[in-house]
Amino acid sequence: MILTLAVSGYRSLRDIVLPLDRITLVTGANGSGKSSLYRSIRLLAEVAQGQAIASIAAEGGLQSTLWAGPEAISRRMKKGEVPVQGTVRKNVVSLKLGFADEDYGYAIDLGLPADAGRSLFSMDPEIKSEALWAGEALSRSNEIAGRNGPTVRVLNSQGQRIPVYQNMARFDSMMTHAADPKDGLELLVMRERMRAWRFYDHLRTDRDAPARFPRIGTRTPVLSADGGDLAAALQTIAEIGDEVALAEAIDDAFPGASISVTVNEGYFELFMQQKGLLRPLRASELSDGTLRYLLLTAALLSPRPAPLIVLNEPETSLHPDLLEPLGRLVTRAAEKTQVIVVSHARALVDTLAVLPGCLRYELRKELGETVADVEELPRWNWPKR
């Protein structure tokens, strides 16, 4: 389970360190920074996929994702005694992401390329430093693997930090290139753990949504990001997962309803029988809210639980009556999976907030910076360049 999440220099997240729990709720007004926090977690996961540089470039490059306010916010600025000055950078440009779980921690520091302006790839950031450590917070004594510039050093079985790469490309992460069963086993473990995180924010329910149409099906223990394999995912839960939990989740939201899956020449199609109707409805006939609830059910009842699931505004298209059943569904999933829910639906937040093992953060803006009230800040140190 992830215990600490840290982000510095990303959009409105100037410098934030948050403890996490089994269920973590992130809420707040529009523009408070919820989406930025969600994107930062997703960007961190993309490091393990080797996609972080491309993702930042797709957002307009590092300059477009950096904190746009002043490097330091004084008390006089907060009191309104002096104006907030535009960003005049004196320190190095830096976007830092990191987390610590129950046994390991990882952090990455990205900055501007040394040849900025002299290359057609000058919008691509470069990796300045990375660190993998054991325990709560990074220190000199507990670092397992570290990358500074092009050099990667790993702690070997004799307790020596040996160089395993000395000319690593600035756009490559040690997470993808130095993870090795022999000299980089901990890196390999952490990489695979991060690759197993799941994000659901683009579950389509429009008229042309992939989930509405028959599709070739195979065993699907993990619902795809767009939900196109919904029928196969639900059938997989029914056959090798918790069939009782699936039936209960559907009945909880739609009393008396049930689902079934038919197969025609390998094409799986989802049907839903609702109370009072003489025939089952095809997925193409379901309302957006009904389809979204079924998609979230398939994601949260996966027979192959993820170490982390992040849901971004799952309440979209849902009728208020479905928010409490969704909350119970999240609660059931949290028995096996850590869940982060980004939402501004009061009924969903209130349902989850009272649960043991649930943390709630109400984000707000102060002089353009996203802040949250934290009872006790966890220890955190960034790797040095």
Chain centre to alpha carbon of residue 326: 19
Mean pLDDT for 1-21 is 95
> Is 90 exceeded by the pLDDT of residue 211?
yes
Residue 81 pLDDT: 55
> Is 60 exceeded by the pLDDT of residue 79?
no
CA distance 296 to 55: 25
Residues in contact with 140: Cβ distance below 8 Å, sequence separation at least 6, in sequence order? none
Contact 377, 41 (CB under 8 A): no
Residue 238 pLDDT: 97
Regarding predicted confidence, which is higher, 57 or 49?
49
Residue 287 pLDDT: 96
Mean pLDDT for 67-90 is 63
Highest mean pLDDT among 4-18, 108-122, 161-175: 4-18
Mean pLDDT for 92-107 is 93
Question: How sure is the predictor about 71, in pLDDT bands with cuts at 50, 70 and 90?
Answer: low
CA distance 272 to 260: 6
∠ Cα 114 115 117 (to 5°): 130
Q: What is the Cα gyration radius of the chain?
A: 23
CA distance 48 to 327: 30
Question: How sure is the predictor about 341, in pLDDT bands with cuts at 50, 70 and 90?
Answer: very high
CA distance 152 to 161: 9
Contact 258, 238 (CB under 8 A): no
CA distance 318 to 327: 12
Residue 54 pLDDT: 87
Chain centre to alpha carbon of residue 160: 34
Which residue type sits at 155? L
Residue 58 pLDDT: 82
CA distance 353 to 51: 34
Question: How sure is the predictor about 256, in pLDDT bands with cuts at 50, 70 and 90?
Answer: very high
Residue 112 pLDDT: 83
Residue 75 pLDDT: 65
Instruction: Outline where DSSP puts E strands in the chain.
Output: 2-10, 13-19, 23-28, 95-101, 104-111, 126-134, 143-148, 151-155, 161-165, 198-200, 215-216, 258-264, 267-273, 281-282, 308-312, 338-342, 358-366, 369-371
Highest mean pLDDT among 109-118, 197-206, 253-262: 253-262
CB crowding 187-212: b at 16 or more within 10 Å, else e: bbebbebbeebbbbbebbbeeebebb
Residue 242 pLDDT: 96
Q: Which of 34, 36, 16, 3 is nearest to 349 (CA)?
A: 34
In sequence order, which ranges of the chain are alpha helices (DSSP H)?
34-47, 52-58, 62-65, 75-79, 174-177, 185-195, 230-240, 243-253, 288-300, 323-333, 346-353
Mean pLDDT for 359-372 is 93
Contact 10, 95 (CB under 8 A): yes
Q: What is the pTM of this model?
A: 0.92
Average pLDDT value for the chain: 91
Q: Which of 337, 317, 327, 202 is nearest to 252 (CA)?
A: 327
Regarding predicted confidence, which is higher, 183 or 307?
307
